[in-house]
Structure 1
């Protein structure tokens, strides 16, 4: 049994608890004189020791961070091939380390290696001597005598072999929350290079450590005919940052496949207070079903307030079950997101997902920090052309900008559209404003220079100077988004599109909703809007020209229609919708389907004109769905 069931946990207490539980369950089979190693190891499933070759000798190589200094380990791989014997010899030299007897510790290890069939040449002796020196150094600094066992546990995980079943509930920790030294070490591993999506800025270089643990576990411990099962966030199937993970390239020559999914997203909160929705992922090296149809069981809780402390749960009494399917909707190797839906919907969703959007979405401007750059309208002084505003407050922000009232030049401000302002076919502006220190005659990407700012908008400039320290303290992330040598008050994500006559703005969180926006009515006239984070927009055709009226209505209708909203709900994370649609959005004016496109624009205008009538909006959305699918059929 101890050779067939093993466990690994990074937490020493969890490993100890599991070891005791394991022992209690096998103790009935043991005699008083039985020598047994309980195969529960304290190790890191994300950072497994590597096998390296030095001067013809294979070594297990590993590094452990400590408060004193890193422990760099190299131990002959052949000496770890019998894990139980390796654990025993590392425990045996503990007394040598406590006595600081370097010679005895060295002799014990060399004898062990010799008995294990290792040729103990100079290279091996040097590495063993370095290991003994490190252990004695730690002992001399009163770092107790257990380091030999700690090292043995970590190193042993590299030689455990492969298993038919690998299960786990790995930690769901964002990559950016890990210590930088640990991130650097893990990213150096061969398997890590395949799971990062490659985006240089937003999202692509981020990851959840669970994705790495899943990949390394499959690569190292899963047998060719085995199955790995892990509980991990549902976002792994959808978000762009997990494109690399979804390819499941566990080595240069080997890939794995998702063969089944348990969907727990509607099963309550078994890990309360954690509210992250999650799935059970079942992965095999021989599955071969990743690109086709994957069976999914969705669990729906029948009980309100299902207690998370219950150890034994009657599944049939507590949950109802839906049989669904999951599949990649595109065969493009660079677009690997999945949808989970009923089998009858999959053909339609694949038709949508296999196409591409001919329009690029733009992310809203980064008005950060909120307390500095977002205002509520208080009053308008028409005689002096000054707008009185009050800066908003966010009690959770680390940037402290006291609440106050200010008067700014009216043409230095734009109405700010937020995600919450967007409804199907209309926008409800609530008086929120933001500074817009740009002049399209000078630059659409960089704020006007200080000299222009002082002469044109002196009151806004005075406000900026007063809070210059807040601008300067912004993160490196923000500074990378603005042009080099830009004034300190530059705001990220402005361009030619910021001066378009009309926009199709949509939500990047929650339910899919879109509206056509032109100028906003303000107390001082019609003014072009600005858009906040999570309110992305489409303003241009692929050639950079601005959208026409019919074209904007056409795009807006598609983004709002029933079938697209259904697709968006199953293909993307509601907390972070794609900025550019990940489904077919053909260019307006295509002669093959232009008549259908005009019909979509007409139905969209009808919904816009009667947007307060739910019946008319629903009828329009239903009509647009039918027209949209007919358009895709004609473009095949």
Structure 2
């Protein structure tokens, strides 16, 4: 690194990231230390596991531990070198400080887990030279490095989604005033906190006032690695840009705490005065975990979340319990515990808070006033539909829900410039909450629309998971016996936990069923059917132990797959057997009496797509990625698929759907029952047949054709469906 080179987040990744020469060298060194000190390593590994096994919803293995050791070692050296340089210490003195591992500002449970790694003097000297005269930028230094070392699947398992710095700056500028007492209750590696520290440093206030303002910043997180990163980041920046600050007296209030369930003994252990923390904050800001109830690893924690949702009066109906959003819990619980009356709360969250059925009670905004929504075009900050939600905490139930609406909304473009300010309201406001929140102009149009009676006639398919245990490819067939192996396609996309491969297993032919996935469905056509093993009889779709035992090959195969299921299922799951999982809520067995014409559409996605399956020769099992309706009437089936593939319906669904989920949203519009005598209904049915024929030919000539390509080719035809659908459904 040349003298005086700027050391910014991207450069840190270049120098220390997984693709760097330094990463390779130090990782090999750590591996050798491990091999030469197995007893010490094993002890520290177990200590580390005891901390992180309850944090990550994945397997905590040695590889991850070694990455943590590398990451923490480099961060600690980074801090020691920069502070030593400022003190005028030479490389030998700096190395002694590093070896001592004695830095009280970093009090953290993970310090002890990597103290067994002491890099040699030569490597330390190499880092010292790299950092000696580098210019440190005043920002969140390590966010790219953290993301580079800790892969996204691990971070996402805890609900961590990094907030882009431009959005952080916007939110902080909009809400923070110098000297405010602020809390980020799920601070991660600290991008919001580092932005606030930067603003404090840049202010024209005295060092004494800056000192007080910094001590008014609090960050809590359940991940000690994130807190460790934040502390080092803050110490480096403060030492760099506030050289007169007394580091020994400075109190950094960044702590390893579960802010939803803070314990008094935790506060005491950290020497925090509980009375000075509770209901004391002016601003609560951040990006809480993007997790739902079903993502939580521990059953006891699920129960705590469910009970807290009930206590906060935002617990959804029973069918939505597994969809409880942690962000919704944070939005209500954190200010209840920590905010002053009239304090501000400002969070990044998934858009389902304002348009998900499971968040109806949340939208009562019981304890809030002056609500404000930031909405973003084209998902400019994340790949998931998102918003920022700001409100003033009142401390008690406030005025009638009706009076909370309409809500001020600011619309931002992809560059985070405000394109307009408008008002959002709800389709329906009731005593216990509000339905989907939308722009007022859309509400005015949609408010008079009624639900379709078809809603009760469509069902979600069966949960044919874990797919690795039941989807297969046929090797050979002889005398009604199939030789089968794992589906390569399913195996290639499986989660690590369920990555299991079987080869050349035998089953009786009667246990072979046909199904399809969302990806196999394109507008007007089903491109592919897949083989799936189901332990049921083909007549009644029932699981009968005696029947299964009378087919010894299938029985043996099921026993083995069921054993794997029982071993690997979540500890929080009450679903004891593989068949119970396949038949969750009887979604498999209820498919026994389907009619010849099956109308199917996708349960999630950016666009609605639908097809008709004519199942005269063989019945098809519908998977939970899709919804279905069976009918004896051919024209009715094609009438429905024509409507579902209409661009107009997708346009309206996008207004009201939660994230990518479609589910029964198509029936939020009054699609009438098919009437053979109605000329427009009949026209739609004929167009459905015609376009099915078109797409059949497209798929025949190009089996890998995508839904997007089909929509492009059929664009003019699909647009012709819009006025006809509008007349039938909306007029």
The aligned residue for residue 257 of structure 2 is none
1:439 CA drift (Å): 3.6
Alignment partner of 1:147 is 2:244? no
Alignment partner of 1:530 is 2:621? yes
1:189-228 paired onto structure 2 within 5 Å: 189=308, 192-200=311-319, 203-217=320-334, 228=345
Residues 462 and 188 from structure 1, CA distance in 2 versus in 1: closer, same or farther, beyond 3 angstroms? closer
Residues 498 and 331 from structure 1, CA distance in 2 versus in 1: closer, same or farther, beyond 3 angstroms? farther
- Does structure 2 conserve the Cα–Cα contact (< 8 Å) formed by 1:351 and 1:632? no
Residues 266 and 377 from structure 1, CA distance in 2 versus in 1: closer, same or farther, beyond 3 angstroms? same
The aligned residue for residue 484 of structure 2 is 389
1:376-525 paired onto structure 2 within 5 Å: 376-381=473-478, 384-392=479-487, 393-394=491-492, 396-429=495-528, 431-439=529-537, 443-444=540-541, 446-447=542-543, 449-455=544-550, 457-473=551-567, 475=569, 491-492=583-584, 493-501=587-595, 502-510=597-605, 511-519=607-615
What CA deviation, in whole Å up to 9, does each residue of 1:107-129 have, x standing for no partner? xxxxxxxxxxxxxxxxxxxxxxx
Residues 20 and 579 from structure 1, CA distance in 2 versus in 1: closer, same or farther, beyond 3 angstroms? closer
- Does structure 2 conserve the Cα–Cα contact (< 8 Å) formed by 1:22 and 1:38? no
The structure whose residues are more often helix, as a share, is 2
Residues 489 and 405 from structure 1, CA distance in 2 versus in 1: closer, same or farther, beyond 3 angstroms? farther
Question: 1: distance between equivalents of 2:659 and 2:537?
Answer: 35
Residues 45 and 348 from structure 1, CA distance in 2 versus in 1: closer, same or farther, beyond 3 angstroms? farther
Secondary structure of the residue aligned to 2:502 is coil
Residues 9 and 35 from structure 1, CA distance in 2 versus in 1: closer, same or farther, beyond 3 angstroms? closer
Residues 530 and 580 from structure 1, CA distance in 2 versus in 1: closer, same or farther, beyond 3 angstroms? farther
Counterpart of 1:282 (choices 390, 399, 405) is: 390
- Does structure 2 conserve the Cα–Cα contact (< 8 Å) formed by 1:366 and 1:491? yes
- Does structure 2 conserve the Cα–Cα contact (< 8 Å) formed by 1:18 and 1:40? no
Number of aligned positions between the proteins = 486
1:329 CA drift (Å): 3.6
Counterpart of 2:277 (choices 126, 141, 157) is: 157
What CA deviation, in whole Å up to 9, does each residue of 1:426-477 have, x standing for no partner? 1011x52012343475x44x31x2222233x443223223444124336379
Residues 581 and 325 from structure 1, CA distance in 2 versus in 1: closer, same or farther, beyond 3 angstroms? same
Residues 534 and 488 from structure 1, CA distance in 2 versus in 1: closer, same or farther, beyond 3 angstroms? closer
Alignment partner of 1:368 is 2:453? no
Question: 2: distance between equivalents of 1:17 and 1:574?
Answer: 30
1:72-91 paired onto structure 2 within 5 Å: none
Superposed CA RMSD in Å reads: 4.7
Secondary structure of the residue aligned to 1:578 is coil
The aligned residue for residue 607 of structure 1 is 691
What CA deviation, in whole Å up to 9, does each residue of 1:313-343 have, x standing for no partner? xx6xxx58466764434457789454657x7
1:421 CA drift (Å): 0.9
1:513 CA drift (Å): 0.5
The aligned residue for residue 101 of structure 1 is none
Stretches of structure 1 that go unaligned for 5 or more consecutive residues are: 47-90, 92-130, 139-145, 270-274, 302-314, 521-525, 540-545
Secondary structure of the residue aligned to 2:414 is strand
What CA deviation, in whole Å up to 9, does each residue of 1:244-293 have, x standing for no partner? 3223233xxxx647443232654255xxxxx5443222335789676557
Counterpart of 1:40 (choices 216, 219, 233) is: 216
Residues 337 and 190 from structure 1, CA distance in 2 versus in 1: closer, same or farther, beyond 3 angstroms? closer
Counterpart of 1:568 (choices 653, 670, 681) is: 653
- Does structure 2 conserve the Cα–Cα contact (< 8 Å) formed by 1:357 and 1:583? no
Alignment partner of 1:588 is 2:705? no
Question: 2: distance between equivalents of 1:425 and 1:212?
Answer: 41
Stretches of structure 2 that go unaligned for 5 or more consecutive residues are: 1-175, 223-250, 252-262, 393-397, 699-709
The aligned residue for residue 299 of structure 1 is 413
The aligned residue for residue 557 of structure 1 is 642
Secondary structure of the residue aligned to 2:374 is strand
1:43 CA drift (Å): 7.3
1:536 CA drift (Å): 2.5
1:579 CA drift (Å): 4.7
Residues 375 and 351 from structure 1, CA distance in 2 versus in 1: closer, same or farther, beyond 3 angstroms? farther
Question: 2: distance between equivalents of 1:6 and 1:288?
Answer: 32
Residues 187 and 321 from structure 1, CA distance in 2 versus in 1: closer, same or farther, beyond 3 angstroms? same
